[in-house]
Chain A
Amino acid sequence: MVTNHDTRTRSLPKAILLTLPILLLMALMVTGGQPVPTEPIRLIPLIVAYVFTVGLFFLIVYTGRTHRYRSVLFVIYAVAFVMTFIPNLFELRGSMAISETEMIQGHTPFCHMVIPMTAIPAALSRTIIFPGSMLEGFAAIGSMLVLWLGASITLGRGWCSWACFYGGLDEGFSKIGRKPLWKNIDRRWTYLPFAVLLVVALASTATLSPQYCAWLCPFKTVTEYAEVTSATTLVQAVVFVSLFAGLVVVLPILTKRRTQCGLFCPMGAFQSFTNKLNIFDVRIDPDKCVRCGKCEKVCPTFSMDEGSIRRGKTRLTCTKCGRCIDECPKGAISYHVKGTPAGARPRLARLLFVYPAFLFLAIMGSGMIQGAVYRVLLLATTGRLVE
């Protein structure tokens, strides 16, 4: 029987050899080309992040399983992001709440979720409707746009499974429990993110204010939110917490899917269109497929259905997480380089995708992991989470 283990690198020396580029590149990226710090509180997080990321890449190559080890890093990356970001905010301004004074100075950190809302005003008037800074300070708009552009060209909507620092939260909660308690989700819900995208993009354009950030972003709960100074900001805070509890915690546990990413996120919907430009996709070999439907059941973002299986490719919303590839009992699903025959050289196609994708995740993730381990060490040695 042909299985997904086709992509496994059976030879240990070969797996080590294939890990070598990541070993060297991560050494450069983790240190930022600077001398290795000597203080244990800085050195230990660096070593942990380096060994952990390189170790996971080795396992991806050696075992042939992409999703299993990507997911470990992706979830830890998201948790580490929260563990790093919140103490940073407390150090910076003593609170998770951002005041109007911070906003008027352009100190609001820009995140990728804002991009779909800024697209129309940027196209029409070359202005960004966000109270941040183009180039100065933490999470400047220009830097975030460059990261997003780089990821969109190399990964397409793979951004959502290999780069987004929020996606790992609902992915993490979706791993709680063995079986889904809620299985039959009407497929029409999968169009909701596109509706949310349309509404927030138009509303933001009309009001010149990023409406998803103001009203609907569940991740405000674990990052920052507008200071509660009025009934409006109080309602907004309640909406953020409710959406976080519903879409990021409860529904992923019940469905074992990434419900925020697959059923609500407008950035995800926006990012789906970059899959059209991206060189990588996921293909299903109709000769090997036995229509067992397992891929449809396990896809975290509802990107497989009967129609897509019939067409031999995933839906536009595929985040290239590799779950279907790992789970397919017949090895019928594989990463694919556009322009090449479907199903041709799946091991090569997988490696060509996994190198840039993992590198993106590992570089973003290692910074956050270093930050989180540093906070844990700080807590252990001083009893405080902030400096």
Chain B
Amino acid sequence: MSRIKAFLGYSCAIFAVPLVLATFMGYELLAGELVALTGLHVHPIYSGGEVAQTIQYEHYQTLIHRPVFDGLLGQRERGFIQIRWQMTDANLPQSLDEQVDFDADGSNDFRIHVDTATQEARIEALDRRVLSVGQVFHVPDGRIVRVHLRRTSQ
């Protein structure tokens, strides 16, 4: 038994060098495999969640993410919805206006206006769940804004 244990021990020890080489040589491939296998992804409070709607305009598109209330296991009372205006072939217009129906019930929940020159945003809440608008993030291909929401209208 002790010989078998020693053999297994030395075998594992010898295997360490190829494992180090595989780690470095294939870490991009392995990273992709690891992510695919485990289903790991960045938490939506950082990534903004999946894009739920894309609205195409002449020179840009608006990406409306799903509302994010994700907690660790359940839903949180406060959340946000991320909106991204992305240039497609030219600069963004100075004034961006968007009406958003985030719960897809057929009626708009808020109207947002962004001034791309001053990076200021105004919001008109059309639903009691809409609380406020956060800062305008000036990113290389456009602007990102998060609108703060609460989960229920109470």
Q: Taking beta carbons and an 8 Å cutoff, which residues of A are in contact with B?
A: 21, 25, 29, 100-101, 103-106, 121-122, 124-135, 140-143, 145-147, 149-151, 153-154, 205-206, 208, 279-280, 337-341, 344, 349, 352-353, 355-356, 359-360, 363
Contacts and interface: CB of A to CB of B under 8 A. Distances in A.
B45 interface: yes
Given A127-B41, A208-B72, A29 B24 contact: yes
B87 to A, nearest CB: 15
B34 A145 contact: yes
Contacts of A339: 5-6, 8-10, 12
B-side binding surface: helix, strand, loop or mixed? helix
Contacts of A129: 43, 45-46
Nearest to B38: A126
A140 B43 contact: no
Interface residues of B, number: 44
Contacts of B9: 279, 337-340
A145 B14 CA distance: 23
Given A100-B137, A149-B34, 12 more contacts: A104-B139, A105-B144, A106-B46, A121-B43, A128-B40, A135-B35, A146-B34, A153-B16, A153-B19, A337-B6, A339-B12, A359-B21
B48 interface: yes
B39 interface: yes
A196 B67 CA distance: 34
B53 interface: no
A131 B146 CA distance: 15
A239 to B, nearest CB: 22
A-side binding surface: helix, strand, loop or mixed? helix
Interface stretch (B25-33, B104-112, B124-132): B25-33
A149 B35 CA distance: 13
Given A105-B139, A154-B20, A359-B20, A352 B13 contact: yes
Contact of B20 (A131, A135, A337, A360): A360
A22 to B, nearest CB: 10
Contacts of A340: 5-6, 9-10
Which of B2, B41, B73: most chain A Cβ within 10 A?
A: B41
Nearest to B140: A105
Contacts of A101: 137-139
